[in-house]
Structure 1
Amino acid sequence: MDTTPRRMHHLAGTRIDNDSILLQSVIGQGAYGVVYRALDLSSPPHAPCFYAVKCLARVHSNHRQYKFQQREIVLHQIASRHENVLKVHRVIKEEKYIFVVLDFCEEGDLFTAIVEQRRFLHNDHLIKKLYLQLLEAVKYCHDLGIYHRDLKPENILVCDKGEKILLTDFGLATSQRTCTDTGCGSSFYISPEVNGVLSPIGPYSTARTDIWALGVILINLVCNRNPWHKAVPDDETFVAFLHSPRYLLKLLPMSVEVHNIITQTFCLNPPRRPDIDTLIDLVQKTERFSISSEELGERILRIEAEERLDKILGVRSEVDFTVEKKMIHYGGLSMPAPKFNIEAAIGLMASPVPSATRDGSSDSDTDSDGPVTPEVAPIDVGNVVSDIEGLDLGEPRIHAAGKDGGYLINPGQDARNKNKTGLRDIMKPALRKLRLS
């Protein structure tokens, strides 16, 4: 039986569950499922009740996809008892299809709130509030032995006028504490061990892979950016971060407290990453999440000065990072060395920070029905834009363009006046190479 979504787009106008629910229009699609907005026909006309109904092709019990469907539905039903997990109302099985009736969130997903609506820009209170909600939802899942494995803004819905989030899409979720699968998840959010580039590693912790993804989501919320395209040795920004964790402090407008959190969540050795309880405690103690562009500019100059001084004094990095025999050695683990010159990339700040873009690359073929995410074209390539006419903002700004614009990085004017040439040299590679893969 063909289980692809194209066979399920004709169901608009269909009534299900003894004619009590009307499927109205497609609002999302994944590798094996389609999501409809649906009307509860028993609700009064003056106060209609809507659902999101996920439609899956029903397969025979001996079909490869059967166990993945069952696992997704069961794990989501169990997890949906938490207030920050999208509620599963009921599951309807018909001859050809399975319909999962969920709450409908008309405000969209967290990606839209971050990139298009820019709700979190310099809004530390909202960042902390919603991020802690997400952490509590993940904690509830982990306490039950459920590991999501596809945490990303597209799989987090927003409701209550932007004051509440709901975790959804358990298509890749598992109850296994350890796993050996590689490539499972969405590229921006996959940890190195899931990318299959670490050795020796063996079976990895599924809980710690969720922690890695939560670190990326925190950067999304605070900076409207992804830290890198992919956590693999061929990604220049990722390797530069391994070489010097302060690298991201020079690129992203995050507070020192947030940087302390993400350096722990991005620990290359999975067992050394914080568990979900520790991560919640770290976030609860954090008072400041973002910084201004002026502060970022001043920090860039300060770090650059400190690094030049360390080089003059011969101070060695505390990071256990070496390159030998075509391998990167880091804290007892190894990865294949990239094709580019590592030292040159680090010295030139060669790779710009990727803009936050929708990532629909979850590996659903090997492990689940996949995330049900609307098919959306990637955000337009970030480009260098001129200053607004009449405003003297100094250097051109790095602009990641989306439907409603993107985050602007504008180095501080005061810092530029102190060392204008130095800061221009620092930002030039990013201005020249900013692009999306």
Structure 2
Amino acid sequence: MTSTRSSHAPLPYTRLPDLTGSTVENGKLKLLELLGHGSFAKVYKALDTQSTASSGAPIHYAVKCLLNGEPGSQEYNNLLNELKNHTQVSGLPGVVALHRSFVEGEHVFVVMELCDTDLNRFVIEHKLCDKQCDVAKRVFLDVLDAVETCHAEGVFHRDLKPGNILCDADGKNIRIADFGVATRSEESKQFGVGTAVFASPENMDKTRDTYSPRGTDCWSLGVILIALMTSSLLWKAPVEADDTYSAYRADPAHFLRGTLDLSPSFNSLANRIFDPNPARRPSIPELRTEVEAIDTFVVPPPVDIVALALQNPLHKPKKSKRRATPPPVDSSATTPRRSLSIASLTRKLRKLVHRRASP
């Protein structure tokens, strides 16, 4: 999560102690292991020590630990904002359930549904970009449904990324998490929020008066879709100082096709998502319709027939006991009769490529 604080200042989560093995909420929850951390919090896997499921199985939760700021402070207001927005959508399809929150000493604990993994880990472990575009497509359509649910409740996330999208081990049951910078405002004056890689250019542009959080979420969805289909991130930040982003803006029609081998239909959709004008970006229903219609997202690079020929030579002259004659160095010299013509070589190479491509 980006911040206006100095890059040399320690992030808030570093001020949080390691509570692994501790019990909280009057002994009701035991913090078993640290699952991870964000800029402002640590998240633990916790065991409910006083209850079990109807099957007798233990009940586990994800417990988020944050610093409890002074009332009126920025930290305190951020926490209230997160709890308010998460509560607004908790229990809806596609959103991590928020069960309760409580304060102990200097810390606030937020008890949430425990999920198997997040989308970032799922993509890496299952190598979705490796001929699994059908799985990636299904996952992305589920993400669209979840984000649309939040938007319908007037909650705009502003930090959509694979790490904030949780799921089951098989990539199903998608759920949005971490509403730390979410907002209910259609227009925002808070710039630089979220994660720069997934943020929209207008979110990063402090020369503007306001920007649309709804449009920012749409942009982030585009970056996520690229990541799912290609296992690549586009740029460090969508700003002019970023060389990759500047190169894309200089030639949007060809840049993504040339660098990521996007299919023509996917390339066209990506360019509409990454339109600098948020008003021209597709809505979530439009995005869903277009993604559903795309059969091929990535086109494999063309076969290098020269390299293929070197690996599988088609013309192998018979060995001769006669002394080999050095090839002529004069470009005007006549081609030896036994050599293979360019046209003939091309035909044979195409036949070889066709045989290799056949199942």
TM-score, normalised on structure 1?
0.63
Matches within 5 A, 1:36-435: 36-41=44-49, 42-43=51-52, 47-106=57-116, 108-196=117-205, 201-244=208-251, 245-294=253-302
Partner secondary structure for residue 65 of structure 1: helix
**Amino acid paired to 2:78:** F
- Cα deviation for residue 110 of structure 1 reads 1.3
**Equivalent pair of 2:146/2:174 in contact (CA under 8 Å):** no
- The alignment of Structure 1 onto Structure 2 pairs a total of residues equal to 300
Q: Distance in 1 between matches of 2:92 and 2:293?
A: 24
Q: Is 2:9 the counterpart of 1:15?
A: no
| 1:278 match: secondary structure | helix
Aligned counterparts of 2:277 and 2:122: Cα–Cα separation in 1: 32
Q: Is the 8 A contact 1:122 1:291 kept in 2?
A: no
Q: State the 1:392 CA deviation.
A: 5.7
- Distance across 2 between alignment mates of 1:136 and 1:185: 21
Q: Structure 1 residue 249: deviation in Å?
A: 0.6
1:35 to 23, 43, 58: 43
Q: Distance in 1 between matches of 2:283 and 2:57?
A: 43
User: SS of the residue aligned with 1:164?
Assistant: coil
CA positional deviation for 1:224: 0.6
1:125 alignment partner, SS class? helix
Question: What SS does structure 1 have at the residue aligned with 2:16?
Answer: helix
Partner-residue secondary structure (3-state), 1:204:
coil
Question: Which residue identity is paired with 1:238?
Answer: Y
Q: In 1, distance between residues paired with 2:299 and 2:179? A: 34
1:214-234, CA deviations, whole angstroms, 9 ceiling, x for partnerless residues?
Answer: 111110000111122221122
Alpha-carbon spacing, 1:36–1:253, altered in 2? closer, same or farther (3 Å):
same
Does the Cα contact within 8 Å between 1:9 and 1:34 map onto a contact in 2?
A: no
* Secondary structure, counterpart of 2:197 in structure 1: helix
1:229-287, CA deviations, whole angstroms, 9 ceiling, x for partnerless residues? 22112223322322322221111132222212211110011211122222222222223
Provide the residue aligned with 2:7 in structure 1. Answer: none
CA contact (8 A) 1:120 1:126 kept: no
The Cα shift of 1:7 comes to: 4.1
Separation in 2 of the partners of 1:7 and 1:250?
45
**Cα pair distance change 1:267/1:17, threshold 3 Å:** same
C-alpha contact 1:150 1:172 (8 A) present in aligned 2? yes
2:96 and 2:80 mapped to 1: Cα distance? 17
SS in 2 for 1:98: strand
CA distance in 2, matches of 1:83, 1:141: 9
Quote the offset at 1:30 in angstroms: 2.0
**Higher mean C-alpha displacement, 211-220 vs 75-84:** 75-84
Contact residue 146 and residue 174 of structure 1 kept, 8 A: yes
Q: Is the 8 A contact 1:84 1:137 kept in 2?
A: yes
Unaligned runs of 5+ in 2: 1-9, 313-345, 351-359
Matched residues in 2 for 1:13 and 1:238: separation?
45
> Which 4+ stretches in 1 moved above 6 angstroms?
none
The 1:290/1:46 distance shift into structure 2, 3 A limit, reads: farther
Q: Distance in 2 between matches of 1:179 and 1:242?
A: 25
Paired amino acid for 2:235: W
Checking the alignment, whether the CA contact within 8 Å between 1:192 and 1:231 is kept in structure 2 is yes
| Distance in 2 between residues matched to 1:160 and 1:5, nearest whole Å | 27
* CA deviation after TM superposition for structure 1 residue 174, in Å: 0.9
Distance in structure 1 (CA, Å) of the matches to 2:11 and 2:235: 33
Matched residue SS, 1:26: strand
Q: Which has the higher contact order (CA 8 A, sep 6+)?
A: 1
* Structure 2 CA distance for partners of 1:227 and 1:59, relative to 1, 3 Å: closer
SS at match of 1:178: coil
Is this contact kept in 2: 1:36–1:54, CA < 8 A? yes
Letter in 2 for 1:203: T
Q: TM-score, normalised by structure 2?
A: 0.76
Query: Is the 1:215–1:266 contact (alpha carbons within 8 Å) kept by the matching residues of 2?
Result: yes
Contact kept, 8 Å, 1:241 with 1:248, in 2: the verdict is: yes
In 2, the alpha carbon distance for the partners of 1:90 and 1:50 equals: 14
Residues 253 and 290, structure 1, Cα contact 8 Å, conserved in 2: yes
- In structure 1, C-alpha distance between the alignment counterparts of 2:156 and 2:225, rounded to whole Å: 18
Q: Is the 8 A contact 2:94 2:149 kept in 1?
A: no
| Alignment-mate amino acid for residue 156 of structure 1 | I
